[in-house]
Structure 1
Amino acid sequence: MRWIDFEGAVNVRDVGGMPTADGGKTVPGRLLRSDNLQGLTRNDVAKFVDEHGLRTVIDLRTTNELTLEGPGPLTEVSTVRHTHHSMLPERGNATDAAADTFESRRERILAMAPDDIVCGIYLSYLADRPDSVVSALRTIAASDGAAVVHCAAGKDRTGVVVAMALSAVGVQEDAVVADYAATGQRIEAILDRLRSTPTYAGDIDRLPVDAHTPRAETMAAFLRHLDTEHGGVTEWLAEHGFGGTDVDRLRYRLLAD
């Protein structure tokens, strides 16, 4: 995992080089993860496309977020494919930071993980939008260049999809958890970016910085739940139509030189 610095995004990294249980490693330049891409500069776009070979953008924001934020700079690049897979129910304000998004689902989320509300939110993504999780992973597997997964902060929705992808191809669990938690290194800069746009500004400071900071224990609990309740990530995926052939394609994409 390595950070990539941009002028208009602060939470971008390549998940290449991560160790697998069978002694392999993920290949650099195949799967990137990011916060919101709306602020990319002209130089950033050229760096993404020319230096990092970006060909696919996997946007996990809601339709409401896309409408409020408007087209991002990468939509002007004809060689970059854009796909949209919302991880939230399409109702209310429908941003990950919006108060009504959580309040409308509070009881159900707490029932899923009473000891870790954030883990419960992650499990609710799987319960509410399994179609989006599966579609996002299929899009990663089908990319002919680098694919970037992003949401608003590049922390929660992105964290879940990337963790599912890495786990499905056999990346060691401690490495998956460490990649998720790495976002905490840049949480102040991420929150500053979100405060700069009316779409997210109103909800960011409802909680202290510590509450926004990803905890390794949360991702570990999320993966443990999948192990306990479903037999693991690949088994959950199989239950939702992402079978052996799909996993093979994803493995080939992320692991084969």
Structure 2
Amino acid sequence: MLWLELDGAVNVRDVGGLPTDDGAKIASGRLLRSDNLQDLSPSDVSYLVENLRLSTVVDLRSPTEVTAEGPAPLTRLGHVTHVNHSLLPEHGFDATAEALLVRRKREEERYPGDPACAHYLGYVEHRPDSIVSALRAVNTSPGAALVHCAAGKDRTGVVVAFALSVAGTRREDIIRDYAATGQRLHQILDRLRGTPTYAGDIDRVPEDRHRPRAETMEAFLEQVDRRYGGVANVLGRHGFTDDELDTLHRRLRG
């Protein structure tokens, strides 16, 4: 796992180097993860495209977020493919106070005691199509693929955990990669406070409530195993074929 120091994003890393169950490692330069890419500098863009051969950006934000934030520097490059696969249940969403209360109660019932884990299970329940589509985009990228959301923590954490699981990464290292975002939490939240799209939500809870906890990802992966038979079964039920699983496995391992 390698941190990438950019001017305009603070939670960027290459998951290459993570150990696999059979003693190999995830290949470098295949899968990158990041927070919002709106503020990339020209030198950031050059580094990603020319040095790291970035060719595909997988944006997990909702259409509402994408519209509010507007074009990002990389979206202006015709040779970099951009795909948007939201993990949030957009259709038919009712934002009334009563509806939000019902939604929150359902999340709490899904996994009491860890709201983040409950939320992640919601991604699997409501948007498995987007998880499958995101991994297909990683699979077909000619060069490096970068997966991102707003903070690069929750939605990105789930999709990257699925990808690393397919590649045979040791579970403790999937969890370690997820929790590593906590090292940059203060910088991430400062960035989000700087845009009207996210500023209103950041300080509604103490900063530490935003921190990714290793226990959350551990519980989430255990629940995916227990409820759905594991990552491969979730993907297979929603159209990700055995050939695609094999391709992703080989791609991420080089």
TM-score higher than 0.5: yes
- For 2:106 and 2:100, locate their aligned partners in 1 and report how far apart those are by CA, in whole Å: 10
Shift of 1:100: 9.7
Matched, 1:80 2:80: yes
Matched, 1:41 2:41: yes
Summarize the Cα distance change of 1:107–1:183 in structure 2 as closer, same or farther, 3 Å threshold: same
Summarize the Cα distance change of 1:103–1:193 in structure 2 as closer, same or farther, 3 Å threshold: farther
| 2:15 match | 15
Matched, 1:226 2:253: no
Summarize the Cα distance change of 1:107–1:144 in structure 2 as closer, same or farther, 3 Å threshold: same
| 2:162 match | 164
With 125-134 and 108-117 compared, the bigger mean Cα shift is at 108-117
Shift of 1:182: 0.1
Summarize the Cα distance change of 1:223–1:32 in structure 2 as closer, same or farther, 3 Å threshold: same
What RMSD in Å do the two structures reach over aligned CA positions? 1.7
The within-5 A match list for 1:83-98 is 83-90=83-90
Q: 1:203 aligns with which of 184, 196, 201?
A: 201
Summarize the Cα distance change of 1:183–1:93 in structure 2 as closer, same or farther, 3 Å threshold: farther
| 1:65 match | 65
Q: Is residue 64–residue 93 contact of structure 1 (8 Å, CA) maintained in 2?
A: no
The within-5 A match list for 1:90-169 is 90=90, 103=101, 105-169=103-167
SS in 1 for 2:169: coil
- For 2:99 and 2:68, locate their aligned partners in 1 and report how far apart those are by CA, in whole Å: 16
- In structure 2, what residue type is equivalent to 1:211? R
- For 1:237 and 1:41, locate their aligned partners in 2 and report how far apart those are by CA, in whole Å: 36
With 222-231 and 116-125 compared, the bigger mean Cα shift is at 222-231
Summarize the Cα distance change of 1:86–1:101 in structure 2 as closer, same or farther, 3 Å threshold: farther
Q: Is residue 121–residue 220 contact of structure 2 (8 Å, CA) maintained in 1?
A: yes
Q: Deviations over 1:135-185 (max 9, x none)?
A: 001110111100000000000000000001101111000000000000000
Shift of 1:25: 0.9
- For 2:22 and 2:241, locate their aligned partners in 1 and report how far apart those are by CA, in whole Å: 20
Shift of 1:104: 5.5
Q: Is residue 61–residue 86 contact of structure 1 (8 Å, CA) maintained in 2?
A: yes
Matched, 1:27 2:47: no
Q: Aligned residues: percent identity?
A: 57
Shift of 1:243: 2.5
Q: Is residue 14–residue 31 contact of structure 2 (8 Å, CA) maintained in 1?
A: yes
Q: Deviations over 1:225-247 (max 9, x none)?
A: 01111221112211221121110
| 2:190 match | 192
| 1:55 match | 55
Q: Is residue 12–residue 35 contact of structure 2 (8 Å, CA) maintained in 1?
A: yes
Q: Which consecutive residues of structure 1, in runs of 5 or more, have no partner in the other structure?
A: none
Q: Tell me how many residue pairs correspond in the alignment.
A: 252
- In structure 2, what residue type is equivalent to 1:232? G
Summarize the Cα distance change of 1:20–1:200 in structure 2 as closer, same or farther, 3 Å threshold: same
Q: Is residue 228–residue 234 contact of structure 2 (8 Å, CA) maintained in 1?
A: yes
